[in-house]
Structure 1
């Protein structure tokens, strides 16, 4: 059984000193020897934020089952937290001694990279080589697992292990598309025309919740319709100067504003959460949802209408990457057990559970997937990987950018700021964070 971290435990964690002590990552060793002084070898504590019925939740349950079989004297404790809890509080919690042995954490410069650079995560490079994880986690999927001394992804030591992939796609209600005579669009103009058709029929087509990540992901996807790989590398990896008033971000911001004014996006979306978005689509209220592969399992289990998905039209790129990382906190007491658990999540047995449930395994065999919808979903991801078309996520480059994007785009939906002012605000925050990252 998963349990949510208690209010008292979280309050105690938040009472820890705010000063973070940066520890040396050493030579990429880490591993089980680092924590032997405090290890009891009898308990494995896992934190994650996957729902039990998601593909990942079901795969982790299988991994725990296998772990228990291999470690009959070990108690497994799982704590289910929300993405927001871990996003906001991980740095504070991990400075203490009461930390998990292994935890799911978001990848990218501003998240796993930041924790790695501050010495809060165990470097796993030697373990990766010893256990052969680098033979399964390869190419662009490995980019988010490695971080340099500044916390920039793509180089340096391994600090986490992904075992599934993810990407943002367009889910659509086939019944509503058929009812209103809307064809699956293949260009951005056709997509916009589809939105207009629904609105003219009295149906609001989109609900990209603005209180959390969905609106920012739609904004970035719109920018990608005018982007190439060099622009993405400038935005994500600082490989070149980024023009914040250029056509990519200007057009994306203008489009969000225009779609809101035309009623394609509800004006109250600025106050809605990702869960609000997902449940309203699942209920059949909205015909289109632009969001991630993490919704696939819930749609399979909960949607009562015929649905499908297609790649966002007019773009050669999609938001996506490896999935979240399993990381081992520097203060974890049972690192050897954590490594054993991570290893199991990369096993064929667990990877095939991910595949069958639509979890986009990175080391699974797509030919074993029997469900046609799941197989198509997986093959689309594999094509994005093989074409080098994954463009990561908009909040990744610098620490704290997630909240800044959310706030800025809420002002676009609310109509309180112009495109130029919004982009100037984001540029200032981005450049400040970039300077802290590279020179701090």
Structure 2
């Protein structure tokens, strides 16, 4: 049999190409980033990773948000990907304790993440080990109407005592000192979380939401004692309105302050507020000298215990943690990078949030309905709303919450 030069050359090229193609490794990611902005952000991230690692082909399995909550419990045991999206803090704890997430402390150590991701390190650490990499969060705090402050002759407070003292001045001006819409319950959790973080600190708050501290503890009662100081100055019909309705009260100058997450800025501005009329402040200090913890729901990526390509999964986590990628990713998300060396645009609220969270030396809480179990979160937030309507029922509310905690602890 005779072969032409062209045929021999073609055969030689094919023999080289086949092994090269075979060497391309597969990396599978399961994610719920299905909304347009997160989807586009992750597509760009993956394209950059593949460009930097041409021997790796990334496959994405995309789920809707609600479906993912069920799916992750199934695929972690049955058909594990190499990487999976989830959340920090107590939300990741059950998977860690069940041995379903991989310890990635080596990724943190080898890439200096304990320094660059320091603000979120506590929420990624269990038993002294890190179990994933955080890539985005957003701040909570107090948004306020600058025009209302000016009209009432009130200065921005630094401490809770100053905040409470201001409430009487706003009341005299015919304005709600604090507004919220608790019809959907969850906005009350932001107020409780900050009051507890500022009264008792991050470690106590995490122990409480984990179910390790009784709700009848005097330190919990101290939190509600601080809350009771502003209940008379809070929008009276809060239980009948949604958070957007409360936002309208701030926009209209009928309320001075609103404890809320940064996602609400778009709603405030859609209502007509500008950077000149909308202000932001950290939640004020209550216990002097207590390390400042903040509320910042944090999205994360983890390596499941059943991952087939752990080496490249760790490469991906290191890539995701880099300042450049966190900057680019969060520009698309409209949220905040966690890497302290990343940068944010010229939006003053993102800049304020980046500074606030990057310097939080007391820890980062996730939010009550992430840090507590689903059942405890529901009962807890119902109790918070009831307390705001009927503060005199506090003892009965705390007894009810404690019964739930004790039952779940068993």
Q: 2:294 aligns with which of 319, 342, 349?
A: 319
Alignment of 1:47 onto 2:32: yes
| Cα deviation 1:34-69 (Å, max 9, x = unaligned) | xxxxx99276442238772xxx78864642342354
1:312 CA displacement: 1.5
SS of aligned partner of 1:48:
coil
Alignment of 1:377 onto 2:347: no
Alpha-carbon spacing, 1:368–1:309, altered in 2? closer, same or farther (3 Å): closer
Q: Which has the larger radius of gyration?
A: 2
SS of aligned partner of 1:427:
helix
CA distance in 2, matches of 1:422, 1:49: 38
CA distance in 2, matches of 1:141, 1:309: 22
Identify the residue that residue 409 of structure 1 maps to in structure 2: 384
| Cα deviation 1:373-405 (Å, max 9, x = unaligned) | 5444322323323xx365665456653332231
Identify the residue that residue 63 of structure 1 maps to in structure 2: 45
SS of aligned partner of 1:319:
strand
Identify the residue that residue 235 of structure 2 maps to in structure 1: 265
Alpha-carbon spacing, 1:325–1:280, altered in 2? closer, same or farther (3 Å): farther
CA distance in 1, matches of 2:116, 2:84: 18
Identify the residue that residue 159 of structure 1 maps to in structure 2: 131
TM-score normalised to structure 1 length: 0.66
Identify the residue that residue 123 of structure 2 maps to in structure 1: 144
CA distance in 2, matches of 1:402, 1:353: 34
Alpha-carbon spacing, 1:230–1:59, altered in 2? closer, same or farther (3 Å): same
Alpha-carbon spacing, 1:279–1:60, altered in 2? closer, same or farther (3 Å): farther
Task: Provide the alpha-carbon RMSD of the alignment.
Answer: 4.4
Alignment of 1:211 onto 2:191: no
Could you list the runs of 5+ residues in structure 2 that have no partner in the other structure? Answer: 1-23
Structure 1 segment 267-286 matched on structure 2, within 5 A: 267-269=237-239, 272=242, 286=255
Aligned length: 376
CA distance in 2, matches of 1:93, 1:284: 49
Report if aligned partners of 2:185, 2:385 keep a CA contact under 8 Å in 1: no
1:338 CA displacement: 4.8
Report if aligned partners of 1:46, 1:101 keep a CA contact under 8 Å in 2: no
SS of aligned partner of 1:169:
strand
Identify the residue that residue 120 of structure 1 maps to in structure 2: 100
1:244 CA displacement: 2.9
CA distance in 2, matches of 1:183, 1:194: 8
Report if aligned partners of 2:144, 2:257 keep a CA contact under 8 Å in 1: yes
Structure 1 segment 180-259 matched on structure 2, within 5 A: 180-204=152-176, 205-209=178-182, 211-227=184-200, 231-232=204-205, 235=208, 244-246=216-218, 248-254=219-225, 256=227, 259=230
CA distance in 2, matches of 1:57, 1:107: 20
CA distance in 2, matches of 1:301, 1:255: 33
CA distance in 2, matches of 1:101, 1:277: 43
1:418 CA displacement: 1.1
Alpha-carbon spacing, 1:78–1:344, altered in 2? closer, same or farther (3 Å): farther
CA distance in 1, matches of 2:348, 2:121: 28
Alpha-carbon spacing, 1:255–1:426, altered in 2? closer, same or farther (3 Å): same
Report if aligned partners of 1:44, 1:334 keep a CA contact under 8 Å in 2: no
Identify the residue that residue 111 of structure 2 maps to in structure 1: 132
Report if aligned partners of 1:114, 1:399 keep a CA contact under 8 Å in 2: no
CA distance in 2, matches of 1:125, 1:165: 21
CA distance in 1, matches of 2:281, 2:311: 42
CA distance in 2, matches of 1:333, 1:300: 47
Could you list the runs of 5+ residues in structure 1 that have no partner in the other structure? Answer: 1-38, 149-154
CA distance in 1, matches of 2:340, 2:116: 11
1:202 CA displacement: 4.8
Q: Counting strand residues as a fraction of each chain, which structure ranks higher?
A: 2
Q: 2:281 aligns with which of 293, 300, 310?
A: 310
TM-score normalised to structure 2 length: 0.70
1:171 CA displacement: 1.5
CA distance in 2, matches of 1:284, 1:77: 46
CA distance in 1, matches of 2:121, 2:379: 27
- Which range moved further: 330-339 or 416-425? 330-339
Alpha-carbon spacing, 1:285–1:265, altered in 2? closer, same or farther (3 Å): closer
Alignment of 1:173 onto 2:173: no
Q: Counting helix residues as a fraction of each chain, which structure ranks higher?
A: 2
Alpha-carbon spacing, 1:160–1:229, altered in 2? closer, same or farther (3 Å): closer
